[in-house]
Amino acid sequence: MIVGAGMAGSKLAHDLLERQRNSQQAHMDYVITLIGEETQVGYNRIMLSSLLAQDISDAEMPLVDTDKMQKGGVHIISGDLVVSMDLESKVVSLSSGQSVAYDKLIMATGSRARVLPIDGAQAANVMGFRTWHDVDVMTSLKEKQPVCVIGGGLLGLEAAVGLVKRGHDVTVFHRSDWLLNRQLDKESAELLLNRLKGMGIQFRLGESPSAFIQSDDQLVTHVVCENGEHMAASLVIMAAGITPEITLAKAAGLQTNQAIVVDEKMQTSHADVFALGECCEFEAQTFGLVAPIWTQINVLIDGLNNQQARFSIEPTPTKLKVSGVNLFSVGRIEPIEGDECIFFKDIGANHYRKLVVNDGLLVGAILYGNVADGSWYFQLIQNKTDISDMLELLVFGEAYCRPQVA
Amino acid sequence: MTATMTKTTCPYCGVGCGVNVTVPSSGSDSEHDKTLDLKNIPPVSGDTDHPANFGRLCVKGSSLAQTLHSDDRLLTPVVNGDVVSWESAVDTVSEKIAQVVKDHGPDAFAFYLSGQILTEDYYVANKLAKGFIGTANVDTNSRLCMASAVVGYKRAFGSDTVPCNYEDLELCNLLIMVGSNAAWTHPILYQRIVEAKKQRPNMKVVVIDPRETATCDIADLHLAIRPGSDAAVFSFLLKHSVDAGVLNNTFISRHTNGFKETLHQANESCSSLAFVADFCGVSEEALLTLATWWCDTPKTVTFYSQGVNQSSSGVDKCNAIINCHLATGRIGKEGAGPFSITGQPNAMGGREVGGLANQLAAHMDFATPGAQELVQRFWQAPNMATENGLKAVDMFQAMEEGKVKVVWIMSTNPMVSLPDTAQVRRALEKCELVIVSDCKAHTDTTAMADVLFPATGWSEKNGTVTNSERRISRQRGLLPPPGEAKHDWWAICEVAKRLGYRSAFSYQNVHEIFAEHAALSEFENNGKRDFDIGHFSGISQQDYDALTPVQWPVPKGRPQGTKRMFEKGRFFTPDRRAKFIPIIPSLPVYQATSEWPFTFNTGRVRDQWHTMTRTGDAASLTKHTDQPYVEIHPKDAKRLNIVDQSLVHVQSESGEALLKAKISRGVSPGNVFAPIHWTKQFSNAAVVSNLIPQVVDPLSGQPESKHAQVRLEAVTDASYGIVISTQPLESLDFTYWCRVPSDYGYRYEVVWPAGESVASIRSLFSTSPSSKEEWLEYTNPKTQQIRLAQIADQKLISVVYLHSKPVSISCDWLESKLVGNECLSDSDRMAILVGLPANVEDKGAIVCSCFQVGSKQIEKAVASGAHSVEQLGASLKCGTNCGSCLPELKNFIPIKTEVSA
C-alpha cells in the first residue's frame, strides 16, 4: 500500500509493477494499492510551472500512464484521504469510510507549502503552489490582477513567471538579499534579478510581508510591507518553503523529526513501514528535488525484493524551469574553509560561472546563462574526478578540458 | 594593376643577398592608396642571379615585404621638438658646425655613421669631414662589428683585404668557424655550407664557440672554449703545424716576414698541449683532433666573426688565425683562407671609402706616405685632416668631456649598441648639438637628438653596398620617399654647401658620387693599393643603374672584377710580403670574482637583426623569440632558484637589465648569454650593452662587447602576464614590460609585483564614456590567475592575462580578435579568456617562421611517424624555405635508437 499518489507514490507504483512484470521471481507477486487525496493521480508535478506559464498543455502533464497501471492490477484510490493508520493490525482508514489492509506500507505523503505565521494566511485567496488544482485556481484568476508571491526560491519564481506571463502584476517578496539564495550567489542572482525584472516582475528583497489586510468576506485585499505600505493583492502565493506532510505518521507513532525518519533502506521505525519522497528524512536531510527520490524508489524496490541497496545522499543539480532563463546550481556553492572559488564573469553577455573546488575536487558549481557544461560539472562532482590537471581551464568547460583529460 | 620587379640587395647581414621585390604600381596618388599598397606588397624572393645567395633567402630577408610599411617613420625635419623645413634644419646644423669649428677647432665635430648607409653616403660624409671641415672624427658602428678584423688584415697584408670568395666555403675540406653562429647570423652562408657538406660528407666543420649554438648542428667537432681564449687555439695550431711538418716553407720564405719571432712566441705562450687545453678549457683530445685535421687539410677556410672581433685582444686573435694560414700557404687558393664575415650590409663599403677614424680614404691611411697630399689634391680640399680621429668609444668619451660639441649620428642606434649606455647617455646629454638622421621617429637615440633629419630607408635608397666577399651590389630605390624623407648623401651635401663647399658637393645624382669614389680609388694607384675600382670612374647613370654584382678590385681593363686575392703571394706592404705577428694569447680584461661570478656573453637571435628598427616591424619575426632573455645553465639556475621564463635581474658594475630566463645547456656553468636586440622602444630594461664595460682592443678600438662579469638574481616579487590592446598602453608602470610587435594592435609581455587585483589591473585602461563598455573576468585562486577582457560596443578592446608563473600563451588568435567588424559571439567571448577557441589547434611556439609552423604541430607530426627533417618538411612544409630552423627541427626528431627500440 502506497499512501500518497504524488510523483513519488505514482512512480513507485509504476516501477514496482514494471519490475514485477519483467521479473521471473515467483515471490514478486504484489497487490499494489495507491491512495491519493488529489483527484489527479500520476501527473508530473514538476511541470506545473510550465503549465502555468502555458509552455505546455494538460496533455503533457502525466508522469505515468494510470490507465495502463490499473489494467496491470494497481488499485488506485483517488480523491480520498487516509485519516488514520493502525500499524499493529496493518489497516488504514480512509475519509470515505473504507478500511484497507496492507502487508507493507509506504508513506509518500509529500509536503505542503509552508504557511507563514501571518494573520490572514488561512484566507481562501492565500495559496501554495503544489498541485494541479492550485494551477487551476491561478488560471481562473481575472485578468491583470495584482498578485503577491512570497518566496523567491525556485517555486516562487516559477509561479511569478507563470503569472506574469498570464498578464498579472506580480510582486515577489523574498526574505533573503538575493533570489535563489540556496542555489545562487549574489552576483549570479543579480543577473537573474535583472532578467526577471525585464519580464515585468517586481521584487522586494530582504523583506517579508508583515500582515495581510482582509476584506469583510475574509479575503486578503492587501499585503502590508515592512515599511507599512499597503500593496493590493488579489491572490497571495506562499512559496516560502515546504513542510513535509507527516501528520498521519506522527499519529501512527512512527519516529519523526522534520519528517519521517528512515534508514538507508527507506525503512521507518516500524519494520513494515517505509517512507520516501518529500515526507522522509534521511541523515537529517529532507528532499525537495526529484533526482534523489527516483533513487529512493529504486532502493526501496530492491529492498522489497531482498536485494542489496543503500540510499546515500548525493549532490543534486537544480535548474529553474523558466524558459529563456538558464541557470544551473549543484553542490556546495558557498565556500567553506579550505574551498576556493574559480570565477568566469561575462556580465555583458549574462554569462556567469562559479566553481567551488576543494583540494583536487570540484564540490560545487553555479552556471548562469550558458549551462551547457552543467552536466559535465555534475559528473565531475559525482564521480569525484581529480581535477588537479584541469584547474587552469576547468571553468571554461568540457570542450577546453577534454584534450587535457585524454 | 601593373607591377614592377626590381633587383636589390637585402639590408641585413654582411652576406649581401640579392632580392627581387615586386612593387605593384599605385592606381592613385592619394596617400591612402599608397599605404594600402605598402601593406600588400607580395613577399620578396631571392635573386637567382646573385652570386651571394643564388636565389636563397633567410627568414629575415623573406619577411622584408612586411617591413615596408612602418607606423613610426620620421617624416619631417625636427629641431628641438618642432617640425621645421629642411632649409631651416640645414641652417641650424650648418651654423652650429661653423660656430664650433671656429671656436673650438674642427675636432669639435664628429660623424658617427653606420654600416647600413650606402657607400655613396659614406663617401660624402668622409669627404666633408676629412677634407673640408678638417677632422677625422668619422667613425661608425662598424667599429663594433669588424674593426679588429680590419686591423688584423692590415697588420698581416698591409691592406684591409678579404682574400676569399664565398665559393671557398663550399670548396674547402675543412671549415673552422670561430666565434660565429652563422646558422642564425649569416643563414645563407650557413645554408650553402650545409648543402656543400651534404654533397661531400667528408668535408669537416669545426665550431669554436663558448656556446653550443645552432651552428654546431653540422659540426664534426665543437670546441666550447673559455670565452676569449681563441688565440691560444691558433697559436697551438701554428706550433703543431711545425711539428707535423706541414709548413709551406717556400711561401714563408718568398712571401712573408716575421715567421721566426712569431713561432718563437707561439712556443713560449703555448708551451704544451696540456697548457693550451687548460687555458682554453677544452680537452686535449679535442684540441688534437682539430690539430690533426688542420694539418691533414690544405683546403681549410677559417671563418670568423664577432666572437673573434669583439674582444680586447680581437686583432691578435685575427692575426693568430692569419698566421696559421700564412705558415701553411693556405691563402689565395680555392677553398683556403682566413675569411672574416661582417655583420652589416655595408660595413665593407664603409671600409672602402675610408669611413673610419683611423683611415683616410679609399684604403689609404693618414700614415700612408703621400696619401694626405694625394687625397687633398683629388678632392681639392681646403681643410685636410692630418691625423687619426676618435674611434667610437673614444668619440663618446670625448663628447662627455666636452671636446666633441656637435655629433651627427646617421642610421645607427648608439644608445643601444655601444657599451656602457649610461656613459653614452651622459655624452649625448653633454653634447651641444646632437643631429640624428634616421628613417624611424622613435629610437633610443632619436630620443636624445636636438635635430632629427628624416632619412630614406632601405626600400627608397639608391646606391651600392659591398658584402663580405668584396662584392659590390646595387641597392635600388623601389618606393618613393615618404613625407619629406631625403637620402643621407643629399642631407650631407646640403649642409656642406651651406658651410661654403658648394662646388665639391654639387652632385646631381648618386652615380656621380660612385664615379668619384671609383676615380679616387684608381687615382695614382698603379697597383699600389688593393682597392681599385677604376673601371667605374666614368660610369654613366644608365650603366650604374644596370650594375651587376662584382667583386673588387675592378681596375680599368678588368671589368669582371677579382674572385680571390693574393693568388700570386703579393701583398700590399711596402715590400709586398705578408707579415707574421707574434701573438701572446690573453683572456678578457674582466674575469669572474665572487662579487661578479658570471661571465656574460652577447649575440643574436635567429629572426631579429640589430636593434629591431626594421625586423621589429615584421610580426612574424617575433614568433621565434618574442622577448629578451638570458640563457643560464640548469645547474646555475637551480642554485639561484631561477625557473625557465622567469624574470632575472642581471647586474654588472656598469649597469643592469631585466631579462627572462632561458634555461639551457647551450651555455656552460658560470656563463650566461643574452641577445642584443631589445631597446627601450621594446622593453623597459633589456638593453644589454648597459652591462658591458667600455673595454676596447688597444689596436682596433673595438669594444669587448661579448664580455662582462655579472651577477644574477631571481625576481621573486613577480606575477607574469600579457596585455593585448587595440591602443598602445598609456602607462607602462610594470616591473618589466616587453612590447611584442603584432600584426594587429599592441601586445605586451609584462611582469607585475605579486598581488595585483582585478581592480588595479582594470585601472590600467582608460574607459571611454561614449561607448558601452563591458569587462569579462576570469579569476582562479587555485592557479593564481586573473584574466580580463575589455569590450566596447561588442568589440574587443584589450585583454590582460596574469599568472603567478611564467607561461607561454600563443596570442595570434587573440590579436586577430582585435580587428574585424563582426561582433563577438558568445563562444568567442569565453575563448578570449582562454586564448583560443575550443576547436582550434594550438600550434605551440613558432619554430619555422617562413611557414609559421609551431612546436606542438611538429611534435604531433613526429608522434604520428615523421622520423626525419625531410618528412617533417613534406608534411608541414617547415624548414623548406630558408632552412634556418633546420637545426631546431632536428631536435624534434628522436634519435635512431629510440625509434627502433
- Verify whether the Cβ–Cβ distance B776 to A391 is below 8 Å: no
Indicate where chain A has its CATH 3.30.390.30 domain(s).
Answer: 326-405
Average pLDDT of span B542-560 = 97
Residue A58 exposed, middle or buried by CB count within 10 Å (0-12, 13-18, 19+): exposed
pLDDT at A69 over 50: yes
Residue A89 exposed, middle or buried by CB count within 10 Å (0-12, 13-18, 19+): exposed
Closest-CA distance, A327 to chain B, in angstroms, reads: 16
- Side by side, the strands of the sheet bearing A211-214 are A211-214, A220-224, A230-232
- Given phi > 0 = left and psi -120 to 50 = alpha, else beta, which region is B81? left
Residue B590 exposed, middle or buried by CB count within 10 Å (0-12, 13-18, 19+): buried
From the list A345, A392, A397, which residue is nearest B776 (CB)? A345
- Verify whether the Cβ–Cβ distance B791 to A348 is below 8 Å: yes
Average pLDDT of span B17-41 = 68
From the list B783, B826, B833, which residue is nearest A344 (CB)? B833
pLDDT at B363 over 90: yes
Contact A220, A120 (CB under 8 A): yes
CATH of domain A2-113+243-304: 3.50.50.60
Place of cell 581551464: A393
pLDDT at A398 over 70: yes
Closest-CA distance, B743 to chain A, in angstroms, reads: 26
Distance of alpha carbon A74 from alpha carbon A330, whole angstroms = 36
Contact A7, A290 (CB under 8 A): yes
CB proximity A339 to B under 8 Å: no
Choosing among B772, B778, B859, which should be mutated to test the A contact, i.e. which has the most A CBs within 10 A?
A: B778
Distance of alpha carbon B323 from alpha carbon B873, whole angstroms = 43
Q: What confidence tens digit (pLDDT) does each residue in B151-174 have?
A: 999 999 999 999 999 999 999 999
Task: Identify all chain A residues contacting B779, using CB atoms and an 8 Å cutoff.
Answer: 342-343
> What is the predicted pLDDT for the residue at A404?
40
What does the block give as the cell for B767? 574607459
CB proximity A220 to B under 8 Å: no
Task: Identify all chain A residues contacting B809, using CB atoms and an 8 Å cutoff.
Answer: none
**Between β-strands A361-368 and A327-331, what pairing exists: parallel, antiparallel or unpaired?**
antiparallel
- Verify whether the Cβ–Cβ distance B829 to A349 is below 8 Å: yes
Task: Identify all chain B residues contacting A354, using CB atoms and an 8 Å cutoff.
Answer: none
Choosing among A346, A353, A392, which should be mutated to test the B contact, i.e. which has the most B CBs within 10 A?
A: A346
> What is the predicted pLDDT for the residue at B26?
57
> What is the predicted pLDDT for the residue at A21?
83
**DSSP notation for A313-348:** -----EE--BTTB-EEEEE--S--TTEEEEEEEEGG
Choosing among B834, B839, B840, which should be mutated to test the A contact, i.e. which has the most A CBs within 10 A?
A: B834
Contact B693, B419 (CB under 8 A): yes
Ranges of H-type helices in B748-825? 758-762, 812-816
Place A170 in a pLDDT band, splitting at 50, 70 and 90.
very high
Q: What confidence tens digit (pLDDT) does each residue in B574-587 have?
A: 999 999 999 999 99
How far, in Å, are A379, B617, B624, B626 from residue B614 at the CA level? 54, 6, 16, 15
Q: What confidence tens digit (pLDDT) does each residue in B720-755 have?
A: 999 999 989 888 889 999 999 888 889 999 999 998
Q: Residue B595: count other Cβ atoms within 10 Å of its Cβ.
A: 9
Strand pairing partners for A3? A35, A107
> What is the predicted pLDDT for the residue at B770?
63
Distance of alpha carbon B203 from alpha carbon B194, whole angstroms = 10
- Verify whether the Cβ–Cβ distance B829 to A400 is below 8 Å: no
Residue B368 exposed, middle or buried by CB count within 10 Å (0-12, 13-18, 19+): middle
Q: What confidence tens digit (pLDDT) does each residue in A177-187 have?
A: 999 998 999 99
Place B433 in a pLDDT band, splitting at 50, 70 and 90.
very high
For residue A74, give every residue at least 6 positions away whose Cβ sits within 8 Å of its Cβ, in sequence order, or none.
A13, A14, A17, A32, A33, A34
Phi, psi of A211 (to 5 degrees): -165, 165
Instruction: Please measure the distance between the N-terminal and C-terminal CA atoms of chain B and give it in whole angstroms.
Output: 59
Please write down the HEC assignment for all residues of B27-89. CCCCHHHHHHHHHCCCCCEECCCCCCCCCCCCHHHHCHHHHCCCCCECCCCEECCEECCHHHH
**Residue B792: closest CA among chain A residues belongs to which residue?**
A348
Q: What confidence tens digit (pLDDT) does each residue in A351-395 have?
A: 999 999 998 999 999 999 988 888 899 999 989 999 998 998 999
Decide which of 3.30.930.10, 3.90.1300.10, 2.60.120.10, 3.30.390.30 is the CATH code for A326-405.
3.30.390.30
**Residue A342: closest CA among chain B residues belongs to which residue?**
B780
Q: Is B239 helix (H, G, I), strand (E, B) or coil?
A: helix
Place of cell 494551477: A135
From the list A357, A396, A397, which residue is nearest B782 (CB)? A357
Choosing among A337, A345, A370, which should be mutated to test the B contact, i.e. which has the most B CBs within 10 A?
A: A345
Contact B157, B572 (CB under 8 A): yes
pLDDT at B118 over 80: yes
- Verify whether the Cβ–Cβ distance A343 to B774 is below 8 Å: no
Judged by average pLDDT, the poorest of A50-59, B127-136, B465-474, B599-608 is A50-59
Average pLDDT of span A313-333 = 86
**Chains A, B: CB pairs < 8 Å:** 61
> What is the predicted pLDDT for the residue at B325?
98
Average pLDDT of span B507-511 = 96
From the list B782, B826, B839, which residue is nearest A351 (CB)? B826
Distance of alpha carbon B347 from alpha carbon B161, whole angstroms = 13
Distance of alpha carbon A66 from alpha carbon A88, whole angstroms = 31
> What is the predicted pLDDT for the residue at A24?
66
Q: What share of chain A is helix, strand, coil (3-state, %, to 5)?
A: 30, 25, 45
Among B455, B457, B461, B510, residue whose Cα is nearest residue B485: B455
How far, in Å, are B46, B191, B463, B686 from residue B49 at the CA level? 9, 17, 19, 40
> What is the predicted pLDDT for the residue at B33?
47
- Side by side, the strands of the sheet bearing B471-475 are B463-466, B471-475, B550-551
> What is the predicted pLDDT for the residue at B537?
96
Phi, psi of B740 (to 5 degrees): -105, 115
Indicate where chain A has its CATH 3.50.50.60 domain(s).
Answer: 2-113+243-304, 126-238
What does the block give as the cell for A368? 548562469
CB proximity A346 to B under 8 Å: yes
> What is the predicted pLDDT for the residue at B901?
34
Among B766, B762, B784, residue whose Cα is nearest residue B775: B762
| Share above pLDDT 70 across residues of chain B, in percent, rounded to a whole number | 96
Complete domains list, chain B, with CATH = 3-67 (3.30.200.210), 89-145+348-467+482-509 (3.40.50.740), 147-340 (3.40.228.10), 598-614+624-696 (2.40.40.20), 719-834 (no CATH), 846-900 (1.10.10.1100)
Residue B614 sits at the vertex; the CA angle it makes with B613 and B615, to the nearest 5 degrees, is 110
- Verify whether the Cβ–Cβ distance B780 to A395 is below 8 Å: yes
Q: Residue B691: count other Cβ atoms within 10 Å of its Cβ.
A: 25
Q: Residue B29: count other Cβ atoms within 10 Å of its Cβ.
A: 8
Place B811 in a pLDDT band, splitting at 50, 70 and 90.
confident
Contact B820, B828 (CB under 8 A): no
Q: Is A201 helix (H, G, I), strand (E, B) or coil?
A: coil
Task: Identify all chain A residues contacting B838, using CB atoms and an 8 Å cutoff.
Answer: 396-397, 399-400
- Verify whether the Cβ–Cβ distance A392 to B781 is below 8 Å: no
**Residue B829: closest CA among chain A residues belongs to which residue?**
A346
Place of cell 560561472: A353
Among B197, B235, B245, residue whose Cα is nearest residue B219: B197
Quick one: DSSP state of residue B352? H
What does the block give as the cell for B459? 626600400
CB proximity A78 to B under 8 Å: no
CATH of domain A126-238: 3.50.50.60
> Which residue type sits at A30?
Y
pLDDT at A286 over 60: yes
- Verify whether the Cβ–Cβ distance A342 to B839 is below 8 Å: no
Distance of alpha carbon A15 from alpha carbon A9, whole angstroms = 10
Contact A262, A254 (CB under 8 A): no
The number of residues in chain A equals: 406
Place B852 in a pLDDT band, splitting at 50, 70 and 90.
confident
Average pLDDT of span A164-173 = 96
**Residue B774: closest CA among chain A residues belongs to which residue?**
A348
Q: Residue B769: count other Cβ atoms within 10 Å of its Cβ.
A: 6
Place of cell 502565493: A237
What does the block give as the cell for A285? 536531510
CB proximity A358 to B under 8 Å: no
Choosing among B757, B780, B813, B826, which should be mutated to test the A contact, i.e. which has the most A CBs within 10 A?
A: B780
CB neighbour burial string for B811-828, b if at least 16 within 10 angstroms, e if fewer: bbbbbebbeeeeebeeee
**Between β-strands B471-475 and B550-551, what pairing exists: parallel, antiparallel or unpaired?**
antiparallel
For residue A308, give every residue at least 6 positions away whose Cβ sits within 8 Å of its Cβ, in sequence order, or none.
A302
How far, in Å, are B44, B147, B357, B400 from residue B393 at the CA level? 37, 12, 11, 11
pLDDT at B295 over 90: yes
Distance of alpha carbon B395 from alpha carbon B424, whole angstroms = 10
Distance of alpha carbon B329 from alpha carbon B317, whole angstroms = 19
Distance of alpha carbon A67 from alpha carbon B848, whole angstroms = 72
From the list B779, B783, B834, which residue is nearest A391 (CB)? B783
Place B525 in a pLDDT band, splitting at 50, 70 and 90.
very high
Strand pairing partners for B410? B437
For residue B667, give every residue at least 6 positions away whose Cβ sits within 8 Å of its Cβ, in sequence order, or none.
B210, B211, B212, B601, B631, B632, B633, B673
- Verify whether the Cβ–Cβ distance B781 to A400 is below 8 Å: no
**Residue A369: closest CA among chain B residues belongs to which residue?**
B826
**Residue B794: closest CA among chain A residues belongs to which residue?**
A348
pLDDT at A325 over 90: no
Longest distance between any two alpha carbons in chain B, whole Å? 87
From the list B776, B782, B834, which residue is nearest A346 (CB)? B776
pLDDT at B410 over 70: yes
pLDDT at B32 over 50: no
CB neighbour burial string for B173-203, b if at least 16 within 10 angstroms, e if fewer: bbbbbbbbbbbbbbbbbbbbbbebbeeeeeb
